Amino acid sequence: MTTISTPSSPSQSIASSRWISRTIIYGLLVIFAILYLMPLFVMLVTSFKTMDEIQNGNMLTLPQSPTIDPWFKAWGEACVGLTCTGIKGYFWNSIKMVVPAVAISTIMGALNGYILTKWRFPGHTLIFGLMLFACFIPFQSVLLPMATILGNLGRFGATLRNEIGMSLGFGNSTVNLVIVHVIYGLGFTTLFFRNYYEAFPNELVRAAQVDGASFFQIFRRIMLPNSLPIIVVTVIYQFTNIWNDFLFASAYAGSGDSMPMTVALNNVVNTSTGVVEYNVNMAAAMIAAMPTLIVYIVAGRYFVRGLMAGAVKG
Amino acid sequence: MAFLNISGLRKRYGALEILKGIDLELEKGGFLVLVGPSGCGKSTLLNTIAGLETITEGDIRVEDRSIADLHPSKRDIAMVFQSYALYPNMTVSGNIAFGMEMRRVPAEERKQAIDKVAKVLQIGHLLDRKPSQLSGGQRQRVAMGRALVRDPKLFLFDEPLSNLDAKLRVDMRTEIKRLHQTTGKTIVYVTHDQIEAMTLATKIAVMKEGIVQQFGTPAEIYNNPANMFVADFMGSPAMNLLSGKILKGSNGLAVSLERAAGEAMKLPIAAGMASLAAYADRDIIFGIRPEALTDPEGADRNARSVAENDCLIEVVEPAGSDTFAVTKLGGKEVVARLRADARIKAGETARLAFNLDKAVFFDPQTQIRIA
């Protein structure tokens, strides 16, 4: 007996210490997950409660008589400032701004990355360094210069309207926001694509050259089809950033019909007339967050893979 | 005028000169192998022919027309890359057809060309697969198919076999040779493997540090190396290069090689090598290939000058088809190649025949061939 029990006792203590460390790790993970998910939970349950229940009940209890009226109200009737037509119009405003801004900045970033790795020219590292610099410029520092530029574009648009009858988009707030987000996003998208293409085999480009493909044919037929992971990363990153942006949106489209979702949500919540309808506010916030959530759920598994692909060579 | 003509070609990156004046020519249907150690500039030279690198000086002409300033796609060349460089997003047939597609060849014609090439290379069953679903040898075939289908004037191969395992490499080598014989295409081929160079080439250019050390047929390169680098690089096992001394005796010249024990070995020099007289009493490098140093029964019966000597055998390495014996002469290890069934034992003295017809001599300072 003794000869058997002696060797088994250290292995038992190893097993129990492993069990303790596992418990601590999972315990911590569960605590942080709860902390992180708590606001979402509160928002979600509140958005399905009636006002009575909110005023008389506990924040954390599940809705006793669930209702989806707050969601319809937020979408179609909530007041943004003085107009009470819900947030649906602003939701489409955001879509109209985000889709072109993400598409343009991603394609330009891919093109930049392609040139900076496969068509190197003297001074390419300097150019890349300067573009990287764009990632570190605080948003606030470009607010005023950008406002001046957008103001000039607006005057140019007004002149065009007088001369040829249309502004060609100059001075339109949505177009302005697209321009701002494309410029601001270029640093990041270029960084993503350059690092990805750095590890992309040069021989493929050379083979395509020998095969007679032109600069853009190589880009379209060889580079882009083999860049899915990094395209997904860039699109998620850009979509989330641009959709969630409040500073540029409130500065350059803070009022009027082309106001994006984030600004409209702020105005819904800040509308001071009558009772504060927490359930409607929460539903509106959920609707505002929905597109980024969907993008993550649909493309999320490529996200981590793409982030790794750029980092590790081969 | 040769089919491919490279004259005075130089390539500089800033102050660094990679190719230092290359002159080569190749007849139509020839197979030129550029061989040398890594960093000798052979791949750069191939890339300049392909147009993937610009040249600093000199000219490249195909059929007497300069192609030095043309875009790669306008040079009528096809290239097989070391990593195969198959487009991962396209199927095998898409890969093979891509070049034709870029040249706006009609779909019907493309299909016929693909089928023809697939038949030659036996890859018909792979046409719908992606490159990631292929084995190394299959990828190699597809890469060759992509080059073949274009039917260009000139084929360029950049170390195409170096990613394959040993057995497959030998098979593919034979296949490339057969392909060259049946199609009669002109090929420029880069390798660092001297056996590939010997077996495939009609002409070999041995390169080192951006300079062509010797340019000639495989037999010339092997039997008459121009300097010690070529002698040492070509051939496996390598040529024995030993320090020796030329002596002038009453019955002609002889070379003396130091031995570990006993007096120096003296080998008579054939009458034809008169240029060695100027080196009398001076140090030289004596070169003899392992197959010219063998057991007396295995010696070449047609050789005019064979000297037999007793040597102390240090190591015996049976290799199946041959037996290699290592002895020591002139302070260096010397490999002799004996018949497989030669009776020989390590630590004993054996009689070895030196075929002096095949011996070569180099100047120790300049390393250039004397005789």
Question: Same domain for B162 and B33?
Answer: yes
Note whether B88 contacts A: Cβ–Cβ < 8 A. Answer: yes
- Per-residue pLDDT tens digits for B249-266: 777 788 888 887 778 888
Beta strands across the sheet bearing B77-80: B77-80, B154-158, B186-191, B31-35, B203-208, B211-216
B243 beta partners:
B285
Instruction: CATH number of the domain at B195, please.
Output: 3.40.50.300
Kindly give the interhelix angle for B92-102 and B107-121, rounded to the nearest 10 degrees: 130
Q: What is the DSSP letter of B227?
A: B
* Nearest partner of A259 among A87, A70, A76, judged by Cα: A87
Given CATH 1.10.10.10, say whether it is the number of domain A71-311.
Answer: no
Q: Retrieve residue B5's tokens.
A: 């003509």
Break chain A into its structural domains and give their ranges.
2-47, 71-311
Sign of CA dihedral A90, A262, A36, A138: positive
Q: Retrieve residue B258's tokens.
A: 């130091």
Burial of A201 (0-12, 13-18, 19+ CB in 10 A): middle
Closest-CA distance, B171 to chain A, in angstroms, reads 25
| Alpha helix stretches (DSSP H) within A165-246 | 173-198, 202-210, 215-217, 228-244
Structural domain boundaries enclosing B279: 240-362
**Residue A313's pLDDT is what?**
35
Half-sphere exposure of B255 (CA within 13 A, CB side): 26
- Per-residue pLDDT tens digits for B15-54: 899 999 999 999 999 999 999 999 899 999 999 999 999 9
Q: What is the DSSP letter of B298?
A: G
- Per-residue pLDDT tens digits for A284-309: 999 999 998 888 888 877 766 655 55
Q: Which residue of A has its CA nearest to B81?
A: A203
Between B45 and B298, the higher pLDDT residue: B45
- Per the CB < 8 A criterion, the answer to whether B276 and B286 are in contact is no
Question: Same domain for B69 and B166?
Answer: yes
In a domain, B30, yes or no: yes
Q: What is the DSSP string of B66-88?
A: E-TTS-GGGS-EEEE-TT----T
Contacts of A211 in chain B (CB under 8 A): 73, 98-99, 102, 146
Question: Same domain for B223 and B334?
Answer: no
CB contact under 8 A, B98 and A208: yes
Question: Same domain for B229 and B244?
Answer: no
Question: Same domain for B202 and B270?
Answer: no
pTM: 0.80
Burial of B1 (0-12, 13-18, 19+ CB in 10 A): exposed
Domain count, chain B: 2
User: Residue B270: CB partners within 8 Å, gap ≥ 6?
Assistant: B304, B305, B356, B357
Question: Same domain for B41 and B98?
Answer: yes
Closest-CA distance, A70 to chain B, in angstroms, reads 48
**Which among B233, B266, B293 is the end of a domain?**
B233
- Per-residue pLDDT tens digits for A253-282: 877 788 898 998 888 888 766 778 888 899
Instruction: CATH number of the domain at B244, please.
Output: 2.40.50.140
In a domain, B212, yes or no: yes
Question: Same domain for B27 and B133?
Answer: yes
Chain A positions with Cβ closer than 8 Å to B: 201, 203-204, 206-214, 217, 221-222, 225-226
Question: Same domain for B308 and B217?
Answer: no
Q: How far is CA A55 from the centre of its chain?
A: 34
Res B357 pLDDT > 50 = yes
What integer best gives the mean pLDDT of chain A?
A: 86
In a domain, B370, yes or no: no
Question: Same domain for B270 and B332?
Answer: yes
Q: Retrieve residue A108's tokens.
A: 């330009």
